A and B are shown apart, each in its own frame.
Chain A
Amino acid sequence: MGRFLARRLVLTIPVLLGVATLVFSLIHLIPGDPAQAMLGEAAPQSDVEELRRQLGLDRPLVQQYAAFLAGLVKGDLGTSLRTGLPVTEQIVERMPATFELAAAAMLVAILFSMPLGIAAAVRRGTVVDHAAMTVSLAGVSVPNFWLGPLLAIVFAVELGWLPVSGRGTWAHLVLPAVSLGAALAAILARMTRATMLEELREPYVQAARARGVSRSRAVMRHAFRNSLIPVVTLVGLQFGAVLTGAVITETIFAWPGIGRLLIQSIGFRDYPLVQGCILLIALTYVAVNLITDMLYGVLDPRIRYE
């Protein structure tokens, strides 16, 4: 077990380094002079020179890269061009909002998808099954940047039940969480159905029924519990999609998280802040994938012996 975890951890190091390198090189992909691009064409040459020095762009590439990595290790991601505040500070401030939204969206997804998937599997081939799967395929196809405004039109504007935007109370969380969680719910429902169908076919379920266990107990206590392992993994692997979706959802609902910060800083050409946001989202994604992988190894001993 220890060896499995250690190996998985070591394998993450080159990926982390690759992510950092890619984020570092972003600023160098800017066509022309990055400092000029950030300040605009009309900026005086002296300002451009000053910014170039401040960003370290006047130094050799290797030195810039070394400084970037060294800063990263210390949690120093540079200074925002617009506010002059440390990038790390601004991101840390926005993190709780994004994690709150992501967690709520995943909760919504789980609450909707599990009953749908189980019902479809148990009533396989019936109208219930077809309806559940059509709804879930539609859920994957509906973009959250359409669902969000539609929900806002109905529940905030027409009915007046929920606030249109902002963060604060539980009510503020409902529309963003539902619009962000819908696609995940759709994917999870399909996965739950597929794994439930596999488990329901297993001899242990039939043995339980033969011993006189009721149908609902056989489904829920036996089949459903075992079908959870791949579903839990999928929840972890889909976390990246939820984080990216949050960029859009936060923009729609004016939710003060990292996604909105990212889009705002792109608008202001505040590249250090753009780099910081992207790095943080990617690192979170890598970390969640790592945890999911490890959990899977713990839950299912067969994985370790690969």
Chain B
Amino acid sequence: MTKVGAAIVLAAILAALAGPVVMPFNPSDQELALRLEGPSARHWFGLDELGRDILARVLVGARISLLVGLVVVGVSSTIGTLLGSIAGYFGGIVDEILSRLMDILLAFPGLLLAIAMVAVLGPSLTNVIIALSLIGWVGYARLVRGQVLRARELEFVQAARALGASIPRILGQHIIPTALPAVTVQATLGMGGAILAEAALSFLGLGVQPPTPSWGTMLSYGRAHMLEAPHLTIFPGMAIAVLVLGFNFLGDGLRDALDPQAQRHS
């Protein structure tokens, strides 16, 4: 399953990078006479309500999805790792404040808070990324905090401390690396989560704005033509499901490989 996941993710990255270059159609080119036409030899995924090639739009949409996933996971895992290790290492009042903040953010279902933030900040790709990153860090911080609490007492960390290593050095060189396998697993699964969240927000009209092709926006517009042109709904949705499945397979496989505890259940 891990290999299947890796293959899907790799294929998606390749398609996102090369697809729009080799495609004979531009995602914004219109053939109005053929609007809503189903899949054909010329247009494999058919045409949308404005006569645009759906395959070309799905490929450009992949760029948006992967970009959102990468930026959100990158930003939130960095913030989370940093704050989590600070909370875990220093303990006391610092830990107390950070942990209460995490409790409050976790009291909201994640996507709901993103909806709320985008609702006030205004719908745009940038705001979606900001909202998802501001919420996403909590999961990483919790995870890293737990790992750091454990690593803090390990002998080699105590030894580094006894040798007079500075705090940034102890954290960066000795403690954070012990948390990295767990963070990697969470980040892989987080890619799928971020892609789903962006699509959901765009579906609700709160994310990427037209004419930029995003899978969620495409699904949202497809709903109006569900009866006469179901291909508008089927293909973008399939793209989301397959890519998210790829990241989930990969994340699951990595967890089994990196965490012997979890292997017992598989």
Q: What residues of chain A have their CB less than 8 Å away from a CB belonging to chain B?
A: 14-15, 18-19, 21-23, 26-27, 29-31, 134, 137-138, 140-143, 145-146, 149-150, 152-153, 157, 193-194, 197-198, 240-241, 243-244, 247-248, 251-252, 262-263, 266-267, 271, 274, 278, 281-282, 285-286, 289
Question: B132 contacts the other chain (Cβ, under 8 Å)?
Answer: no
Q: Report yes or no: A152 in contact with B116, Cβ–Cβ below 8 A.
A: no
Q: Report yes or no: B219 in contact with A29, Cβ–Cβ below 8 A.
A: no
- Distance to closest chain B CB from A277 (angstroms): 9
- Distance to closest chain A CB from B261 (angstroms): 12
Interface size class of B (residues with CB under 8 A): 35 or more
Which one of A22, A145, A198 has the greatest number of beta carbons of chain B within 10 Å?
A145
Question: B115 contacts the other chain (Cβ, under 8 Å)?
Answer: yes
Which one of B101, B122, B220, B226 has the greatest number of beta carbons of chain A within 10 Å?
B226
Which one of A18, A193, A197 has the greatest number of beta carbons of chain B within 10 Å?
A18
Q: B98-138: which residues lie under 8 A (CB-CB) from chain A?
A: 100-101, 103-104, 107-113, 115-117, 119-122
Report which of B112, B216, B226 forms a contact with A281, defined as CB distance below 8 A: B112
Q: Report yes or no: A152 in contact with B107, Cβ–Cβ below 8 A.
A: no
Main secondary structure of the interface of B (DSSP, over half): helix
Kindly count the residue-residue contacts between A and B in the assembled complex, taking CB atoms under 8 Å apart.
136
Q: Report yes or no: A241 in contact with B216, Cβ–Cβ below 8 A.
A: no
Cα A197 to Cα B264 in complex, Å, equals: 9
Ranked 6 nearest A-B pairs via Cβ: A146-B237, A18-B104, A240-B109, A141-B245, A244-B109, A141-B244
Cα A248 to Cα B223 in complex, Å, equals: 13
**Given known contacts A145-B200, A152-B226, A29 and B120 CB-to-CB distance under 8 angstroms:** yes
Question: Across the interface, which residues of A come within 8 angstroms of B237, CB to CB?
Answer: 142-143, 145-146, 149-150
- Distance to closest chain A CB from B155 (angstroms): 27
